[in-house]
A and B are shown apart, each in its own frame.
Chain A
Amino acid sequence: MVHLSADECKDVSAVFSKVNVDQLGGESLASLLIVYPWTRRHFKTFGNLSSTDAILHNAKVQAHGAKVLGAVRDALKHVANLGGHFAHLSDLHCQQLFVDPANFKLFAGIVSIRVGQTMRQAYTPHVQASFEKFLDAVTDALAKGYH
């Protein structure tokens, strides 16, 4: 079980207050599909994902990315019990969506890089460490229900 200190939670909160979550989420999902093309296997109903340009302008990708990152942001309120909080979503990703949890880690890595692009020097090494620790905790919780 990952425990985030009060300071680490503050760092994470600060990141979410400084970024446009919808935009960051959409851009991160688009980047995921570009940087790791095999992740497109889960989005066959999203229309045109055949090129970098198509992905960057795909409204479904933007909307879904916003939804995913919004859920990550909301999870901060439940950091003491992320496993419980994500039980339903974990089950969904395992039983219905069949998503390899390795994908969650790929997405988390991209989110961190894009936060760096947005926050620049304000994304200090310590803030980065706190934020990535939180993302690790979220990805672990999402993988927890797999069987």
Chain B
Amino acid sequence: ISAKMVLSAVDTTHVHTVLDHVKGHEDTYGAEALNRTFTSHPQTKTYFHGKDLAENSAYLHSHGKKVMSALVNASAHCDNIYGALDKLSDMHAHELMVDPANFPILAHNILVTLAIHLPQVLTPACHVSLDKFLCEVGDALTHKYR
């Protein structure tokens, strides 16, 4: 897969700045981002039938940690996000099949969560870089769908 360079050196620096603050808080921030997604967009719960999605549930924390850890990992490979997320891309295409419309919804709620916990870090300049990064992640996870 040829890497699509959408993130500049400045974007990469900004992504690292923000994600460095996420390290150590993957489960809390992840759980909160998921909870906000489920609360404001209840249709997203359709992918989690049978799971305990109550605020602060063990499942929310473990799944939130998985999601945020994957983002932290991807942030270490801003020059090749598609490559870094290759296995997760396969999983989303062949097993999970989460509708592509949902990735911007989760991305938004990740940004709201980060804005709440890191208000000084999420400057407008960092915001644009992080938004680009999250779009790139969404594209990487859905590009094998068809």
Contact = CB atoms under 8 A, between A and B. Distances in A.
B112 A113 contact: yes
A78 B114 CA distance: 32
A114 B108 contact: no
Contact of A35 (B32, B35, B39, B124): B124
A5 interface: no
Contacts of A52: 124-125
A30 interface: yes
Main SS class of interface, A: helix
B125 A125 contact: no
B116 A116 contact: yes
B128 interface: yes
Interface string A101-136: 000000001001110111111010110110011000
A54 to B, nearest CB: 12
Contacts of B116: 116-117, 119-121, 123
B124 A31 contact: yes
B122 A30 contact: no
A31 B39 CA distance: 25
Contacts of B36: 125, 128-129
Contact of A120 (B111, B119, B122, B127): B119
B145 to A, nearest CB: 23
Interface of A: 30-31, 34-35, 52, 55-56, 109, 112-114, 116-121, 123, 125-126, 128-129, 132-133
Sort A-B residue pairs by CB-CB distance and give the 3 closest, nearest first.
A116-B115, A125-B39, A129-B40
Interface of B: 32, 35-36, 39-40, 55, 108, 111-113, 115-116, 119, 122, 124-125, 127-128, 131
8 contacts: A35-B124, A52-B125, A56-B124, A109-B108, A113-B108, A116-B113, A117-B122, A123-B116
